[in-house]
Amino acid sequence: MRRALAAVTALSVSSAPIGCLMVLRRMSLAGDAMAHAVLPGAAIGFIAAGLSLPAMSVGGFIAAMAVALLAGFVSHATPQRDDASFAAFYLIALALGVLLVSLHGSPVDLMHMLFGSVLAVDDAALVQIALVSSGTLCALALMYRPLVLHSLDPGHLRSVGGPGAAAHVLLLVLVVANLVSSFLALGTLLAIGLMMLPAASARFWVEGLPAMAAAAAAIGAVSGAAGLLVSFHAELPSGPCIVLICGAVYMVSLLFGRRNGLLAGHLPKSLYRARAGS
């Protein structure tokens, strides 16, 4: 449980700010596609080296980056839009990964790769998650301005000679690296949960990217701790509990969020003033 809490907290701190950039760029589906694309690479690493953390991580990273680059190439070389190309490639990757694991592993291996097991995170996985989280935060600090400008106005960044291509590639690398780390704990089907749900929730409460990133990281960390507690006391799978808590926070934010929440215009303004004062 201590390792699981440390892993979920580290993943939240690094994944949630990346998710904020993805939300601003309307690339949520792309993130979901890359999360599913981790599976065939991890399956190949599993076939080659068994349950080897380095082999599965490297395979998953290569596969997810390949899907991202192929989808981007198709959307630029053909009239097909990004969402259609990402959807096509992630479905192919997911089916291929399930097939490979089914042919060379057991049903337990398949369930572990699809849904993860955060309570089974060992010291090696925890070190990898910590390294990816630390590297992500350092990269965001060094490339913050290009990443933000490329997310909000890529045309302006290109017009002033900024590193638009480098910012785009860096964002893809950071997304894939965090998804591979999340895959170790939550599996390919749920890895995107800690990245996108807290970011989407935070947008209903705060203004400005720094505040949004901080709020998303806090939502992810608190939801992770709450999900672990619920799973422990109710004897339920930890990964789905964590993502469901994140989903519950999103639904509350969608309804009552002070920025464009569905019910925000119908609640007394004094209630929001009291919340802001507290």
Question: What's the angle, vertex CA 159, arms to CA 153 and CA 161, rounded to 5?
Answer: 110
184-217 pLDDT per residue, tens: 788 877 888 899 999 999 999 998 889 999 999 9
124-169 pLDDT per residue, tens: 889 999 999 999 999 999 998 888 888 777 777 777 777 777 888 8
- For the chain, domain boundaries: 2-277
19-44 pLDDT per residue, tens: 999 988 888 778 888 888 888 898 89
Q: What share of the chain is helix, strand, coil (3-state, %, to 5)?
A: 85, 0, 15
CATH 3.40.640.10 fits 2-277, yes or no: no
Q: Which of 87-91, 128-132, 251-255 has the lowest mean pLDDT?
A: 87-91
pLDDT of residue 268: 61
Please give the model's pTM, rounded to 2 decimal places.
0.85
Distance CA 97, CA 43 (A): 6
